[in-house]
Amino acid sequence: MSGRQESTQGTSFAALRGQLREAAAAFASGPDALEGILLGMVDDVDRAVREPLEIFPVCHHSPASALAMARRLREKQPKVVYLELCEDMAPLLTELRNCRLPVAVQAFAGDVDGFPQEWAPLSVVAPITEASAEYQAIAYALDTPGVELVLVDRSSDHVFQWDSRSEQHKEESDSPQEAEAALHGEAVGVEIGDLRPRFAELEEHLLRHGRVRHWSEWWHQYVEVPLGDGTAGHDTYRQVMFLIGSLFRRLAPGDGDRIRVDEDRERYMWTRMREHLAATGTDPEDCLYVCGAFHAASRVAEFGVHGSTDTFTIPPRTATVWQYGLIPSSHAAIEAQFGLAAGSVSIAATQWAKNLKRTRVEPYRLQGQAGARRTGRKKAAVAAPQSPHAGDMLSGFLRRPPVLDPLDEAELLGWSVEIVRAARRNGYLASTADAIAVFETSILLAGMRDRARPTPYDFQDAAVTCIEKDRVPGRRDVRRLVDIMMGGDRIGQVGYEALPPLARDVYDRLEPLGLKLRQRGVQRALLDMTSRPELEACSDVLWMLRRLMPHGTARPIMGERRLGERSIQESWDLALGTHQRALIELGYEGVSIEQVLEQRLRRDAYGPRATTATVLAAVEDTLLYLRGRRLADELGTHALKVLAAERSVDGAPEVLRRARALLAYYRTAEPVLPAWIESFVKTGYAHYCTLLPTAFRDEDATVGQVAAMLGFLFSMESLALSLGCDRTQLELAVAQSHPDDPAKTALLWAAQVQLGTLSRAELRARCAELLDNPLVVPAYPRYLSGFVHALEPVPGLADVVVEAVSNAFGRLPDAVLLPWLPLLITTLRSGASDLAPLLIREAGRIFPARLAALDTWVPPWRAPETDPFVTGPAAAVPRGATLLTAHPATCDAVAELLGCDDGWTRHGAPAPSGAGLLATHPAACDAVARLLGCDDGWAAAAGPSSPGGTALTARHPETARALESLLIST
């Protein structure tokens, strides 16, 4: 290949080589370095021009490239088009006709096999706009009979095999333009035709001498305008793009990884093209290779149809399963992903429309393309194809002075009037004088930058200078208003036919709402399930979308869904059209939202970092959104294993909250409790009893976590004991707990009160001792924090907690009390927000309701203890039967119903004892005696009177002992 190149150096570009050699000798101190670069660029151009397979260099989203592509396709009419795009995306290109551009072709992998798990999910996107050469080639190949489109770039799998992923730190912003820029998410962009200098000093030099701010503005001024005005022919365009690509390639810094990937991509593409040519027998003269100008000036040994064939082997793909689809894109998303200036893609779209109107070139559009404009003009005449081995066109182009476009005053005046009108609509105090100032300033800036005609960038700077004030009154600044005026952030849309099955299923199931959900923006949906029962299915879909989709896709305004509760009316704000990309990516995970939800719940529950609270949350979501019991029982059984394996109490509060909610739901919605919830209560009771002594001593365990453990033990105690648990285990766990922290000590005292090992009087005495001890007084607020958390497991101590807090306010010195008040407030707000109403309600019951009564009020805990049921001498008040004697008719009716006709007992007669019932009905007593193994029979009556309880005990000592032991055991 090198010999072939040397043999042709004397036949092409000889004049240009001589000029560059003279320039290198004149401007460089030594001719070697600069001469090598300049002459090497000419060699690259010569090599690419002489390639039998015509190479068409392009720049990403360049109107000049798109115009030259449309013109060349009509001239050459190639039979095969090789396109630099991931080869595995080829089957998806036919769906572009069902979309409104711009859209992006996406390859997505949720589960990775062969890559690190932390990379998942993997996503590769290739955005396509109408003003791009790639779209012109695709439209020509798909709509022209007998033309084959072959994608030759590396697959999506190789993108991640060859590229090392680096962390990208993105600043969050709520501005509308940056929100639209997130349409591509964190996907890796395929830079088709990317052409930007990688040498920072070169880019800075070009921007400084070109008197521009950004690379996009330099490209527009010095490449787009000269090549897109229609005067540059096909050969001139190719040689200029070859020259620019070679310049950027030779001045690229020594980034070994990136250069290696670029060269491997070039080897990959030429290998695929040679394989296709050999398999089909196509003549290279009938083919067209569309690639970026950077890759067109390649120097790898595999370059060309006659390049090396045994020096590169395409590596196999990994086992990762890729899925493909189309997602909506936008001008802002393309600019953000590929580092272009804000508004540059919109300006390029405007420039594309101007070039078409000026040159009268008929572009290619896919038949049935959504949003395509129909033109009634006739197609331009097809020129005769030029020779692929044209001579030197660069010398004349580089020597030609820049064409100074005359000032189009009507266009500039229209821009000035329109920007003032837009500024006034957005709150700026702009006037006609501002429009005149913008007009004159634009001309002035263009003159300062050696331009006869102001560019959109000059106009944008002039508008900011003349209209922008010290603050932005609305949501958009002047620079953003200019972008919108120049074409705006055009946002694409994927058509219904191109959507995955899940997305189409969602739209079909939401059809009863009667809304245009594929349109962008927020729409209000009103659901009245009482009058329209069919909307209940729509409600289920919306709640699942709220669970799966990003925030704002489906936002409930009225209505809620809790365990055991269903709303009969709901109101929603829906933005499915705005979040169409997320809905499409959801379709990569399954064919229905129920399937995707079940997969995600399983992934959360069975993940390596899953906790008991996470699994219980998955169970709750299963009951809320999926009405089957199968998955809930499966995840609930898995929660038992996760709970038994946990050795910390970090998730105890969440476990307590969710376990209570699930238990309450099953008790009201199911006839019997599921087996897994019973096993969970038994396992949790034993598990937390085991961890309780350690948690009291562990410094990492907070008071709220220990209180949640006790709350689980006390609130689930009745169910756990009925299922076979032993309360002795809890008593031993509390007895073995010896905390050092004052808050946990107060929590332990509350637990002892609940168990009955500590009386309320003793608890009050301990609190009084704490206040009497000067050494403990500074730590007393921490004891109170423990008492506040103790309301979770022992809510009956609310009165004691109110008393303790009142005593603290009454007796603590200000030096201790005032610093503690913020701690008390934060404790109630963060850790015990649901317990504050209990304290407030108890305090409202104890304290007087009026301020005047506060001076004479005596706290209940300081009042002398009296029996509330005794108001006088005990003998003067009848006990027990007062209500019966006050209403004898009721008692007579009940006695008659029961068949008792003995009448009322006379005044002064001895009251019958409870043992008389046994003598009246001896058969019942004999049955109990036989059940308990007592067979000594009845003894003789001690006297004529009814036997008392003591006589019965004497007659049946074994029965009494058996009953006593039975009562003690229970």
pLDDT band at 6; cut points 50, 70, 90 = very low
Given a contact cutoff of 8 angstroms between Cβ atoms, the answer to whether 127 and 329 are in contact is yes
pLDDT at 148 over 90: yes
Span 903-918, mean pLDDT? 63
> 561 exposed, middle or buried (CB, 10 Å; 0-12, 13-18, 19+)?
middle
pLDDT at 384 over 50: no
Between 938 and 309, the higher pLDDT residue: 309
Angstrom distance (rounded) from CA 165 to CA 68:
35
Give φ, ψ of 534 to 5 degrees. Answer: -70, -15
- What string of DSSP letters covers 789-849? HHTTT-GGGHHHHHHHHHHHHHHS-HHHHHHHHHHHHHIIIII-TTTHHHHHHHHHHHS-S
Given a contact cutoff of 8 angstroms between Cβ atoms, the answer to whether 319 and 114 are in contact is yes
pLDDT band at 16; cut points 50, 70, 90 = low
Span 531-555, mean pLDDT? 91
User: Per the structure block, which two tokens stand in for 154?
Assistant: 């590396």
Convert the pLDDT of each residue in 645-693 to its tens digit: 888 888 888 999 999 999 999 988 888 899 999 999 999 999 999 999 9
Q: Which residues of 419-436 are buried (b: 16+ CB within 10 A; e: fewer)?
A: bbebbeebebebeeebbe
Span 889-893, mean pLDDT? 82
pLDDT at 739 over 70: yes
Given a contact cutoff of 8 angstroms between Cβ atoms, the answer to whether 61 and 131 are in contact is yes
Between 919 and 282, the higher pLDDT residue: 282
Span 857-884, mean pLDDT? 59
Residue type, 765: A
DSSP 8-state symbol, 607: S
The residue among 757, 717, 767 whose CA lies nearest residue 736 is 757
Span 952-960, mean pLDDT? 54
**pLDDT of amino acid 912:** 57
Angstrom distance (rounded) from CA 822 to CA 298:
70
pLDDT at 380 over 50: no
User: Per the structure block, which two tokens stand in for 892?
Assistant: 């007579």
Convert the pLDDT of each residue in 563-586 to its tens digit: 888 888 999 999 998 888 889 888
What percent of the chain is modeled with pLDDT above 90?
21
**pLDDT of amino acid 147:** 92
pLDDT at 948 over 70: no
Angstrom distance (rounded) from CA 349 to CA 101:
12
Between 212 and 93, the higher pLDDT residue: 93
On the CB side of 262, how many CA atoms lie within 13 Å of its CA?
26
**pLDDT of amino acid 879:** 52
Convert the pLDDT of each residue in 781-793 to its tens digit: 888 888 888 888 8
Say what the pTM is. Answer: 0.70
Span 200-226, mean pLDDT? 73
Span 415-427, mean pLDDT? 89
Q: Which residue has the tokens 């920072």?
A: 200
pLDDT at 388 over 60: no
pLDDT at 936 over 80: no
Q: Among 582-596, 639-653, 952-966, which stretch is predicted with the lowest mean pLDDT?
A: 952-966
Between 404 and 645, the higher pLDDT residue: 645
pLDDT at 199 over 70: no
Convert the pLDDT of each residue in 347-367 to its tens digit: 888 888 888 888 888 899 888
**pLDDT of amino acid 80:** 93
**pLDDT of amino acid 602:** 92
User: Per the structure block, which two tokens stand in for 907?
Assistant: 């005044």
Q: Among 35-49, 539-553, 604-618, which stretch is predicted with the lowest mean pLDDT?
A: 35-49
**pLDDT of amino acid 381:** 39
**In angstroms, what is the C-alpha Rg of the chain?**
43
**pLDDT of amino acid 700:** 87
pLDDT at 314 over 50: yes
Convert the pLDDT of each residue in 810-859 to its tens digit: 777 888 778 777 776 776 666 556 667 777 777 777 777 777 777 777 77
**pLDDT of amino acid 916:** 61
**pLDDT of amino acid 166:** 39
Angstrom distance (rounded) from CA 478 to CA 308:
55
pLDDT at 114 over 60: yes
Q: Among 208-217, 716-725, 859-868, 922-931, which stretch is predicted with the lowest mean pLDDT?
A: 859-868
DSSP 8-state symbol, 419: H
User: Per the structure block, which two tokens stand in for 102?
Assistant: 């711009």
pLDDT band at 510; cut points 50, 70, 90 = very high
Residues 6+ apart with CB under 8 A from 139: 364, 365, 366, 369
Bond from prior residue into 922 cis (ω within 30 degrees of 0)? no
Q: Which of 632-636, 803-807, 810-814 has the highest mean pLDDT?
A: 632-636
**pLDDT of amino acid 946:** 43
Span 544-563, mean pLDDT? 90
Q: Which of 222-231, 384-393, 648-657, 936-945 has the highest mean pLDDT?
A: 648-657
Average pLDDT over the chain, rounded to an integer: 79
What is the length of the chain? 970
**pLDDT of amino acid 712:** 92
pLDDT band at 175; cut points 50, 70, 90 = very low
3-state secondary structure of 562: strand
**pLDDT of amino acid 171:** 40
User: Per the structure block, which two tokens stand in for 481?
Assistant: 């208003």
Span 465-473, mean pLDDT? 82
E strand residue ranges, 176-292: 188-189, 287-292
Span 322-338, mean pLDDT? 84
Q: Among 130-144, 587-601, 854-868, which stretch is predicted with the lowest mean pLDDT?
A: 854-868
Q: Which residue has the tokens 């798909």?
A: 142
Residues 6+ apart with CB under 8 A from 121: 108, 109, 110, 112
Residue 626: count other Cβ atoms within 10 Å of its Cβ. Answer: 17
Convert the pLDDT of each residue in 244-293 to its tens digit: 888 777 776 555 677 788 888 888 999 999 999 999 998 999 999 998 88
Measured over the CA atoms of residue 925, residue 930, residue 933 and residue 936, the dihedral's sign is positive
Residues 6+ apart with CB under 8 A from 889: none
**pLDDT of amino acid 240:** 84
Q: Among 174-183, 268-277, 616-625, which stretch is predicted with the lowest mean pLDDT?
A: 174-183
DSSP 8-state symbol, 402: P
**pLDDT of amino acid 523:** 92
